Amino acid sequence: MIRSVRPHLAAVAGYVPGEQPRGATYIKLNTNENPYAPSPHVAEAITRGLDGRLRRYPDPVGQALRDAAGRLHGVDPAMILAGNGSDDLLTILTRACVDAGQPVLYPTPSYVLYRTLCELQDARGLAVPFRDDWTLDTTAFRHPRAQLAFLANPNSPSGTRLTPEQVAALAAGLDCLLVVDEAYADFADGNCLPLLKTHPNVVILRTLSKGYGLAGLRLGYLIAQAEVVAQLMKVKDSYNCDELSLLGAVAALEDQEHLNSTRGRIIATRARLTATLRERGFEVTPSQANFVWCPVGPRAVPLYEALKAGGILVRLMRYEGFPEGLRITVGTDAEIDQFLATIDTLR
């Protein structure tokens, strides 16, 4: 027999991304994409990059992006590592920190990729359940031999957020890196950046996919102590970010005005969606992200199917020990109107 992939991979399901139907004209409220176009400066920057320089390799470290992110957050660019989406950075962190069999902490229900990355690494994923109020028990979210901990904050699918004080308490209880995945921080009332000064084991993860409306570009970055970044550099692909993505991402980061205006629109629509669903009798978890979570239990599958038949895709999510629910991305006002009208036909 041919020795092929590592045997444990046969038992790994692999991550299943939200549906990305090609050609169909669904209203897509299932993968938390931004309904608004990115800054027009992004296309300008990418177009300027098509001047022949693509025959060369890109900057291996993406220094222009590190400088732009450093300026934006007021940190040393040596503390920034750019990735091909923040998923790339999650993979780099897992490969860099965790050996087979070693414990890795993450909460549940949360971003399912954390579990998948542990499975791929043959690590021991330890899923710590959120409490009913979507906080975490600090004494439960620890393990003496944990090699890495992930925390999506704001969390998906709940849209809830631990305060920086609560995250600081988690970090203080860990002897390993705590990756605070802030994919949705652009829609929240605050973030954990200040913890970088007080808790050297905190790693902050940001992405251009959600707030900046650039999921197709594939660019994320992490912020950590410079010594940590220097080690992670060894693990990443030599050219993990392409020239055009780097150019576009720098332009996006430099247009904070655009970010602020789309963020404001999404937050206003989120409030309206939440209030309207509650009027219709749905339980809606208060959201700090660009989606809302409705734990609808056994109605989840029929609602999901009926919405899909009506041309609307939402994300059906199931987590062991928690009620099934629908995660609904905040779209444009017109999209949300159509979603609500469809919901009304189903009651």
Distance, in Å, from the CA atom of 345 to the CA atom of 230, rounded to the nearest integer, reads 55
Residues constituting the chain:
347
Residue span binding ligand PLP (CB under 6 A) among the ranges 9-17, 82-90, 122-130, 166-174? 82-90
82 forms part of the interface with ligand PLP (CB under 6 A): no
Tokens of 256: 């904070």
287 forms part of the interface with ligand PLP (CB under 6 A): no
220 forms part of the interface with ligand PLP (CB under 6 A): yes
Q: Which residue from 139, 136, 131, 163 is spatially nearest to 150, judged by alpha carbons?
A: 136
Contact yes or no for 164/152 (Cβ under 8 A): no
CB-based burial, 332-347: b 16+ in 10 Å, e otherwise: eeebbebbeebbeeee
191 forms part of the interface with ligand PLP (CB under 6 A): no
Residue span binding ligand PLP (CB under 6 A) among the ranges 139-147, 205-213, 264-272, 334-342? 205-213
Q: Which of 29, 62, 158, 181 binds ligand PLP (CB under 6 A)?
A: 181
Q: Which of 112, 123, 162, 183 binds ligand PLP (CB under 6 A)?
A: 183
Which of 75, 180 has the CB closer to ligand PLP?
A: 180
Which of 86, 160 has the CB closer to ligand PLP?
A: 86
Coil, strand, or helix at residue 338? helix
325 forms part of the interface with ligand PLP (CB under 6 A): no
Minimum distance of ligand PLP from residue 184's CB (angstroms): 7
Q: Which residue from 276, 320, 312 is spatially nearest to 294, judged by alpha carbons?
A: 276
Distance, in Å, from the CA atom of 308 to the CA atom of 141, rounded to the nearest integer, reads 37
Q: Which of 61, 215, 292, 296 binds ligand PLP (CB under 6 A)?
A: 215
Residues in contact with ligand PLP, total (CB under 6 A)? 14
H runs (alpha helix) in 74-201:
86-97, 113-121, 164-172, 195-198
Residue span binding ligand PLP (CB under 6 A) among the ranges 118-126, 190-198, 208-216, 330-338? 208-216
Contact yes or no for 161/185 (Cβ under 8 A): no
186 forms part of the interface with ligand PLP (CB under 6 A): no
87 forms part of the interface with ligand PLP (CB under 6 A): yes
Interface map 135-154 toward ligand PLP (x if CB under 6 A) = -----------------x--
Q: Which residue from 335, 332, 296 is spatially nearest to 316, judged by alpha carbons?
A: 296
Binding site for ligand PLP (CB under 6 A): 32, 85-87, 111, 152, 156, 181, 183, 207, 209-210, 215, 220
